[in-house]
Structure 1
């Protein structure tokens, strides 16, 4: 009897232990499920990264610098003897306008110059380049001026970073380039560290809210299709000296730029210049001095907008020295522009007939079949 009671007691104890073990296992399992639910909940509720819009390109970035600082604008040497250039492929907006002798110079705008170590070569400024920079609220970086440009800067109290005063602070001379046969005027460069030093030397602060360059499409907004014409290739001329060509690349959805019969390359990257947006704007351009210096009205005119392998006519307006360049549809509404880098050619009215547009293959977002000019 006593032995049977001991056996029954042992069985009850064993049963209780098994029940307790199962309960603990179930509790632990629930805990793991709850942990997974909690982790999943925490993961899904993690805050999204704050994104900022680059005011010159309309593209998104995680760096708030672009919304808190004004851009810089660098005068770029574009004569054939000065090629190749450095840093221009990183420009957010690249202007090109004819200068004396039929050559062109460029104005490269950077929302954030800090990531571009070498830019140039750099040349002297002209009044219309100053006006273009002022329209963006940009600080001009240049190496000298024409006397007309010097007067304009003085009369309007415009502070710039000029290599004539800051040659060893804001610029550097490329000795290797000079020794290889380039003229001295094609060997002066600037870049991120040098621009910072030049701004500090002139006590110029870029802090402030930058101006938005264009009326950009939103990141998730559908681009309105162009019904005007296709544009696989665009040929235009600034003068008898300088012909340019834009060729649409379907792989990158950009226009690649050619000049002097060859691709225009940024030597820093080895890549051909490529732009989401290209604008050819016509204006009155004329000689204003015995030295052959040119003048440019920069008041208002017409032109064309090229993007996605298609194009359409537009109008533009600037006006005052500090006024922004504004682009319009034919109906007078402000033109909507795709986010991305932009090239803007300002061409004399006398060269309008030199513009040729080749339709090529079907363009993105284009429903027409006939090229028009």
Structure 2
């Protein structure tokens, strides 16, 4: 009996030891520290912006457009801006507009279009000034004009300048027309069909080169516009021109600046709409007269200088430089970083340094009215 009991106790002890051994084998596996896996410590994955199918960013506005249109060279054209030349036609279709003084301190415009093949009417087309060619080259643009100042002739004849002159008989025939409702020289115009025909007649390259990288830097997030939090209030902007005395008024409901000059809204003869832009760049530029014998001006387009970037109701100081005739003008903030523009249309006001003191910003329309 005692022997049987002893054997039973030995069995129980053996079973207990086996069970204990089993627990010892499995416990470490169950107690592995979960937090030491790399899941919670992994770097967040960078999400690249989704590219809509068949679309690409416009080099002129930063917005998504048809990739075929985005790849083509833009079309730049000189437009008159005297009272008799207004309203301009097609101006609300322009992606970028340059404004600078010519002789007599009148301003002339250069409108740049990315998508030009279906333009209804572009008028009034005027003559070239050499400094506008400098700016057109910055965008790899095909440059259109009706005549030119004598100081632009040599530049226009350079192989790297693709120009469509109304004084070229073949180009004039396929591209330009006259509007009988206006007096010459303010009545020359073209349209999308004429532009395409003029480019084809001259055999100009229509696509950007494969290594083309564009001009402006844009905010890439479509839903997060740039606000100049440290900027000066700029509900109304005066760029400082003497004759047409233009100003821009910020519309907070659309986020755009409406353009006025000669005491009234600047509109498009095609559709009656007022010109509106997202960005204003004021580029203060040195200048001189080409000769004491005439009033033609020279803008020092490669000398560098100061200016302002204006968007979403505020303005900040900038500096600018241009390294070569065909390179883009680059704009920098006070920290020395190249500025980014909000997506949308841009108006570049090239203001002579002599009149920089006439540039003004107002916090409200009331303040502007009581200036």
TM-score by length of 1: 0.79
User: How far does residue 153 in structure 1 lie from its aligned partner after superposition?
Assistant: 1.7
Distance 1:255 1:131, change over 3 A: same
Equivalent in the alignment of 1:322: 326
What is the CA–CA distance in structure 2 between the aligned matches of 1:196 and 1:307, rounded to whole Å?
A: 34
| Two-structure CA RMSD over aligned residues (Å) | 1.7
* 2:63 equivalent to 1:59: yes
Equivalent in the alignment of 1:283: 285
SS at match of 2:84: helix
Equivalent in the alignment of 1:173: 178
Equivalent in the alignment of 1:208: 208
Contact 2:175 2:198 in 1 (8 A): yes
SS at match of 1:148: helix
User: How far does residue 221 in structure 1 lie from its aligned partner after superposition?
Assistant: 6.5
* 2:332 equivalent to 1:311: no
* 2:260 equivalent to 1:258: yes
What is the CA–CA distance in structure 1 between the aligned matches of 2:352 and 2:229, rounded to whole Å?
A: 26
Equivalent in the alignment of 2:155: 152
- 2:116 pairs, out of 108, 113, 118, with 113
Equivalent in the alignment of 2:355: 351
Instruction: Provide structure 1 residue ranges, at least 5 long, that are not aligned to the other structure.
Output: 1-46, 362-373
Q: Is the radius of gyration larger for structure 1 or structure 2? A: 2
Runs of 4 or more consecutive aligned structure 1 residues displaced over 6 Å after TM superposition: none
What is the CA–CA distance in structure 2 between the aligned matches of 1:304 and 1:158, rounded to whole Å?
A: 29
* 2:335 equivalent to 1:331: yes
SS at match of 2:284: strand
What is the CA–CA distance in structure 2 between the aligned matches of 1:296 and 1:156, rounded to whole Å?
A: 22
Bigger Cα displacement from structure 2, 259-268 vs 311-320 = 311-320
Distance 1:276 1:260, change over 3 A: same
User: How far does residue 337 in structure 1 lie from its aligned partner after superposition?
Assistant: 0.8
What is the CA–CA distance in structure 2 between the aligned matches of 1:341 and 1:320, rounded to whole Å?
A: 25
Bigger Cα displacement from structure 2, 277-286 vs 206-215 = 206-215
Equivalent in the alignment of 1:294: 297
Q: Which structure features the higher share of helix residues?
A: 1
What is the CA–CA distance in structure 2 between the aligned matches of 1:225 and 1:205, rounded to whole Å?
A: 39
Contact 1:139 1:160 in 2 (8 A): yes
1:208-249: per-residue Cα shift (whole Å, max 9, x none)?
Answer: 24552311001346325421211110123223x231101101
SS at match of 1:257: strand
What is the CA–CA distance in structure 1 between the aligned matches of 2:162 and 2:122, rounded to whole Å?
A: 20
What is the CA–CA distance in structure 1 between the aligned matches of 2:183 and 2:277, rounded to whole Å?
A: 30
User: How far does residue 59 in structure 1 lie from its aligned partner after superposition?
Assistant: 0.5
What is the CA–CA distance in structure 2 between the aligned matches of 1:225 and 1:143, rounded to whole Å?
A: 40
After TM superposition, the structure 1 = structure 2 runs for residues 160-239 of structure 1, keeping only pairs within 5 Å, are 160-165=163-168, 166-175=171-180, 177=181, 182-209=182-209, 211-220=213-222, 222=224, 223-239=226-242
Instruction: Provide structure 2 residue ranges, at least 5 long, that are not aligned to the other structure.
Output: 1-50, 366-371
Distance 1:250 1:221, change over 3 A: closer
SS at match of 1:234: strand
TM-score by length of 2: 0.79
Contact 1:169 1:194 in 2 (8 A): yes
